[in-house]
Structure 1
């Protein structure tokens, strides 16, 4: 009896964890570049009892497919193509990666994404005052000056664009992606080198790829399963009370 209650409790906790993930997906449905997250359980092959919920290993994964493209026509809005990532430096100074290409210029004339400074490719990027900025498809940042009969472009710096396998990434609470400690790229230095093959497109933003319908269906399904586990616990508790009453009567 106690074993059944314990199993139902473990299953209910796992469902609550799933609900938190889905709720976070739905909350970020309008967040630029957000990638929906899911968790699933796999059986630990070292455990012989295949029906023991507490012996399942929980893993998480992200849907890294592209979201809908929004044509903003803003020079500092970027769509990072294919499996490329923009590199930023978080508030702790650690290198992180994002698909959010909504760049801004802060008071120090630095390019930022959600207040995280954008990392340059072997350079520091500082935007001069009173210029028009254009970012080329290879990530080179230029200033544009219009003279009488021609346009002059001057290189300011270049963005650090990287390619990282999905299995080497982990997302933290700040929404940024980081290299896992056991990554296959560089096990000793937690950074990635710039890739010349990554391309960006300015004037466009990649919206969140959260599928609202699928997440809502999953949330409803989890809620029903959670209710079923609560009923199982309640039934086991009632059966335990009935058993105690019978024992007392026989005594």
Structure 2
């Protein structure tokens, strides 16, 4: 069979991979703080004594992310936090420290500040943040948390900690299967005092749904073209076999 089949099959495989990534982006258009995933591929010249110099295959180079900030949506909920500009919230996972832009936080039954999936939000002391019961909280733009207990004098303000916010180089970050980001070397990033946040807002996903839909349509057409090339190669091979059999 003509080697063009393998070239087309390789291209079709990459198109399917890309379509899966774009579909995942579309599914997370409404996910707070989601970072669009990008597909990175590279051309690989085919080697061999019978290979034409114009024939190339494709291979997955690496996965990447679009780190552009999403729009901020005002919610008015004090536990909804959004980072302005660059930076990340630090959370504790079973595998160590991880980072997210999703600031839809809550207080669990143990009075600990957690993410929507129940992961503790870390303070600059690398410890979970405990929230006093029935306390009225406020967050400053540098992450400091102040609380006034129920029935307390308005002047009796307690400073219970500072939300840990980090800003490592994005080229050092890798996306985990849980959607959280981690440093590639497995270490924990130090707190960055320059990162700022705002309370009562949530950062939207940075996925552009219109662009993602156009990409999905283009991928579908490209896949059809690859399948047509394979079908044409098969037809040509059958014709060639027929001519040889008639001789």
Q: TM-score, normalised by structure 2?
A: 0.90
In the TM superposition, residue 106 of structure 1 has moved relative to its aligned partner by: 0.9
Taking the aligned partners of 1:104 and 1:151, their CA distance within structure 2 comes to 25
The answer as to 2:241 corresponding to 1:244 is yes
Change (3 A) 1:130 1:176: same
Which residue number in structure 1 is paired with residue 169 of structure 2? 165
Taking the aligned partners of 1:94 and 1:148, their CA distance within structure 2 comes to 37
Change (3 A) 1:94 1:149: closer
Residues 129-168 of structure 1 correspond to what in structure 2 (within 5 A)? 129-145=133-149, 150-168=154-172
Identify which of 30, 51, 61 aligns with 1:58: 61
SS of the equivalent of 1:214 reads helix
Q: How many residues align?
A: 240
Coordinate RMSD, CA, aligned? 2.1
Which residue number in structure 2 is paired with residue 196 of structure 1? 193
Identify which of 87, 90, 94 aligns with 2:90: 87
Taking the aligned partners of 1:136 and 1:16, their CA distance within structure 2 comes to 46
In the TM superposition, residue 43 of structure 1 has moved relative to its aligned partner by: 3.9
Taking the aligned partners of 1:40 and 1:155, their CA distance within structure 2 comes to 46
The answer as to 2:118 corresponding to 1:106 is no
Deviations 1:142-179 (Å, cap 9, x if unpaired)?
A: 21247687443201121111001111111122111111
Which residue number in structure 2 is paired with residue 38 of structure 1? 38
Change (3 A) 1:82 1:198: same
Which 5+ residue runs of structure 1 have no aligned equivalent?
A: 182-188
In the TM superposition, residue 50 of structure 1 has moved relative to its aligned partner by: 7.0
The answer as to 2:226 corresponding to 1:229 is yes
In the TM superposition, residue 217 of structure 1 has moved relative to its aligned partner by: 0.7
Moved more, 170-179 or 146-155: 146-155
Taking the aligned partners of 2:190 and 2:69, their CA distance within structure 1 comes to 23
The answer as to 2:202 corresponding to 1:205 is yes
Which residue number in structure 2 is paired with residue 15 of structure 1? 15
Which 5+ residue runs of structure 2 have no aligned equivalent?
A: none
In the TM superposition, residue 59 of structure 1 has moved relative to its aligned partner by: 2.5
In the TM superposition, residue 40 of structure 1 has moved relative to its aligned partner by: 2.3
SS of the equivalent of 1:67 reads coil
Q: TM-score, normalised by structure 1?
A: 0.89
SS of the equivalent of 1:197 reads coil
Identify which of 118, 122, 126 aligns with 1:119: 122
Kept in 2: contact 1:83–1:164 (CA 8 A):
no
